[in-house]
């Protein structure tokens, strides 16, 4: 069996089950894995109590899919959080690479100051497209729990036609929903029509929302505000898949009695094994493609 990471050391910071699953894949590929934040020892992963111990020894440092906060703090399952700053990057081995789902401006700046290669793997097309599958399945599962109707025959609206919106709209269509997709660009609306779905522009949403049974948002901006919610039925169910704070005025929705659920990070909740495998495979692809496809912030 090929061991593409033989003789390499990978430090993995675990925030949820995805990172634990990814660590197992790195082990299969021959790496020595140092785990920080792991609640228990997993296989032959060597768990460490000090994050910097793992950082200093690693050829690759892998931070969580969920990334960090604006100040660069990375939360983990067990143990103190880790701040990713210039001191953190200065402790890394020369030539080591730092992987994180999404970095803050402060983390990007710190990597640039020290000269460490930083890769935000959530921005990678391969990751985003594959990760959209558990996201879409999780969104449908959540809708089935929250709504008193079936997906089949429902009037379902999808806001945004990026990677997740495309996968989700197709899944809803395959389940027999009547799917309308709202997108800003004419080229996106043409693609929506070509895919056998009903396209509309966001300016049409307030006038059309009254017909919706289910609304799925994938847009990380406030697109479901007062102008939309005041025209919605009170039995509408909203599933917001966008990153926090989402794209819905949740306070107004609650006051109106409209059920709205913010549900980012669904892959880690509904399919952590698949999501962790996707994470590991994408990171391995980026490692094998160095230095051409990784982002160098020097």
Q: What angle do CA 269, 137, 217 make, to 5 degrees?
A: 90
pLDDT of residue 279: 96
Helices within the chain (DSSP H only): 17-28, 51-57, 86-90, 105-114, 125-146, 163-174, 186-194, 205-208, 226-229, 250-256, 266-270, 272-288
Longest dimension (CA), the chain: 60
Q: Report the pLDDT value the prediction gives residue 41, as an integer from 0 to 100.
A: 55
**Other C-beta atoms lying within 10 Å of the C-beta of residue 6:** 10
Confidence of residue 96 (pLDDT cuts 50, 70, 90): very high
Q: Is a pLDDT exceeding 90 seen at residue 287? A: yes
Residue 40 binned pLDDT confidence (cut-offs 50, 70, 90): low
pTM value is 0.85
For residues 215 and 225, give the distance between their C-alpha atoms in angstroms, rounded to a whole number. 13
The dihedral sign for the CA sequence 23, 28, 34, 38: positive
Task: Please count the residues of the chain.
Answer: 298
Nearest to 234 by CA among 213, 218, 250: 213
CA 226 – CA 141 distance, rounded (Å) = 27
- CA–CA dist 59, 66 (Å, integer): 21
Mean pLDDT to the nearest integer, 1-26: 93
Lowest mean pLDDT among 171-180, 255-264, 285-294: 285-294
Q: 290 pLDDT band (50/70/90 cuts)?
A: low
Q: Residue 294 pLDDT > 50, yes or no?
A: no
> 289 pLDDT band (50/70/90 cuts)?
confident
Q: What percentage of residues in the chain have a pLDDT greater than 70?
A: 95
b vs e for 69-103, b when ≥16 Cβ sit within 10 Å of the residue's Cβ? eeebbbbbbebebbbbbbebbebbeeebbbbbbbb
Q: Does domain 128-264 have CATH number 3.40.50.720?
A: yes
User: Angle at the Cα of 47 (from 44 to 53), degrees rounded to 5?
Assistant: 125
pLDDT classification of 42: cutoffs 50, 70, 90: low
Statement: residue 296 has pLDDT above 80: no
Same-fold call for 9-123+271-288 versus 128-264: yes
Q: Where are the domains of the chain?
A: 9-123+271-288, 128-264
Domain spanning 9-123+271-288: CATH 3.40.50.720: yes
Handedness of CA 263, 170, 124, 141 (dihedral sign): positive
> Per the structure block, which two tokens stand in for 69?
């906060």
Average pLDDT, the chain: 93
């Amino acid at each position: 069996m090929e061991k593409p990471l033989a003789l390499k050391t990978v430090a993995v910071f675990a925030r949820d089950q995805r990172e634990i699953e990814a660590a197992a894949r790195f082990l299969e590929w021959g790496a020595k894995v140092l785990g920080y934040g792991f609640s228990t020892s997993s296989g032959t992963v060597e768990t460490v109590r000090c994050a910097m111990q793992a950082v200093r020894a690693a050829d690759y440092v892998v931070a969580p899919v969920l990334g960090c906060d604006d100040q660069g703090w990375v939360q983990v399952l067990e143990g103190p959080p880790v701040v990713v700053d210039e001191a953190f990057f200065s402790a890394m081995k020369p030539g080591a690479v730092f992987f994180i789902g999404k970095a803050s401006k402060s983390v990007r700046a710190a990597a640039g100051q020290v000269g460490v290669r930083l890769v935000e793997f959530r921005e990678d097309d391969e990751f985003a497209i594959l990760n959209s599958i558990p996201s879409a399945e999780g969104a449908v599962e959540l809708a089935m729990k929250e709504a008193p109707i079936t997906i089949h025959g429902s009037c379902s609206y999808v806001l945004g036609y990026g990677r997740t919106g495309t996968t989700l709209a197709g899944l809803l269509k395959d389940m027999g929903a009547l799917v309308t997709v709202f997108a800003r660009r004419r080229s996106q609306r043409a693609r929506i029509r070509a895919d056998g779905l009903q396209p509309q522009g966001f300016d049409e949403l307030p006038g059309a929302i009254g017909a919706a049974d289910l609304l799925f948002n994938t847009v990380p901006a406030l697109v479901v505000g007062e102008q939309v919610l005041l025209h919605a039925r009170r039995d509408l169910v909203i599933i917001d898949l966008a990153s926090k704070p989402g794209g819905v005025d949740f306070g107004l929705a609650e006051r109106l009695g409209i059920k709205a659920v913010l549900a980012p990070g669904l892959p880690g909740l509904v399919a952590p094994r698949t999501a962790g495998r996707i994470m590991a495979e994408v990171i391995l692809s980026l490692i094998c493609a160095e230095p051409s496809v990784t982002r160098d912030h020097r």
